[in-house]
A and B are shown apart, each in its own frame.
Chain A
Amino acid sequence: MIPAFDAWVLRVLRVPPPPQAPAGSSEASRVLKAAPGFFRQRLLVWGWRQAAALAGILFGFAAGNILPKELEMLLGGPIRIVELIALGLFALQLALSFSLVRLDYLWRWYVVTDRSLRIRQGLFKIREQTVSFANIQNVGVRQGPVQRWLGIADLEIRTAGGGQAEGEGTGKKNDFHKAVFRGVADAEGIRDRILHDLRRLRDSGLGDRPDSADGASGELDAARELTSAARALRGALAAQG
């Protein structure tokens, strides 16, 4: 029943298929997913909200019972009906929102190649972000107490550019210069891998054309050849007398 419902949601929301790997050598491409701990974290938040909503509805029930007799005669019926409708809607959205939390966890990809990364997330609003390693400014890991307990962490990757308006820390605002691997199990491992690949790109950050390691050594080789050719020319001239 759940797969059928999932398929229906994905069809109605026109969710596109999983993302393609961005450029980079195909054997180095790795597709990462959020860890099960991330689902548990989201479930905790969801459960907390649902409990609060249920408490509100039950409070409404209780308030209906302590009305004065005259008001009870007048409003008791309508209040009961409204409360029953509220309970019904609550049960309905309980199933729906649980399914959305689950789908949001499942439909989330972090693709890493040896020179770029791509993050795809969202169900209603889908955001697919692509960052090339040459543009990465810094890489960091963020972990809260709940995340530590669940064994997950957020890996944050920043590119140049600022202007974080509001919501520092919450990460709710669109900060376009940041890519976050939310709720991954092995944040340190991914970070080390990215940093390892970053080291090969000797120039990172701003500027036009970075000198790749290959290009620089090619220039050095060409210069050495030039020197040896010049020496040979001098030798030939000296032999001529």
Chain B
Amino acid sequence: MGDGTAESRAESSFERIWSLERPDPSLWLYYVFVSFTAGPFFLVPLAFLRLRYRSIRYRFDEEGVSMRWGVMFRREVHLTYARIQDIHLVSNAIERWLGLARIQIQTASGSSKAEMTLEGLPDFEAVRDFLYFRMRGLAEAREGSVASPLARELAAATTELKAIRELIEVRPKGDPS
């Protein structure tokens, strides 16, 4: 990563992500387009997608991201950042006209489909980078030279021993107290 300023800039653009909760209204517009591809039966997917759009909630916390949706049949998915395997950013031409893209997140589960699809986030690139900074192989690199917990404990024990030795050495010889 090297460049500290670029990273701090990235970090500041991540600030907004913690508060993301609802998809952008343009997602509803996209859902309307999608519904019309069903031709004369467009009302069926339209109602379904309306409920989906209304009920989608995102939550980004320290450990992972969760998403829930559904009114009659509810679903909730929670992913831990460290378990993310791949991140795909997918968009078709209509989505790009509306300024949207989908972030498809995969873990190492046995399904070939995405475990979670974050829809309707206008800051999709920032969200992707946010997730990406926290996934395996990068979070560690970001911490860089910070010692592991074990190394920290060992170093603390070393300091303790040194302090004991100093205590012994300052005491005059043969003094039992």
Contact = CB atoms under 8 A, between A and B. Distances in A.
User: How many residues of A sit at the interface, in one of the four size bands?
Assistant: 35 or more
A172 interface: no
Contacts of B157: 226, 229
Nearest to A201: B137
A160 interface: yes
Interface string A103-137: 00000000000011000000011111111111100
Label chain B's interface by main secondary structure: mixed
A132 B164 contact: no
Interface in A81-105: none
B54 interface: no
A127 B86 CA distance: 12
Interface size class of B (residues with CB under 8 A): 35 or more
A206 B83 CA distance: 8
A215 B147 contact: yes
A225 interface: yes
B161 A124 contact: no
A130 B90 CA distance: 11
* A-B pairs with lowest CB-CB distance, top 8: A134-B137, A222-B154, A160-B108, A14-B96, A163-B112, A132-B137, A229-B161, A128-B89
Interface of B: 1-3, 82, 85-93, 96-97, 104, 106-114, 128, 132-133, 135-138, 140-142, 145, 147-148, 150-152, 154-155, 157-158, 161-162, 164-165, 168-169, 171, 173-174
13 contacts: A115-B137, A126-B90, A129-B89, A130-B89, A132-B138, A135-B136, A161-B106, A162-B112, A163-B109, A173-B112, A175-B112, A222-B151, A236-B168
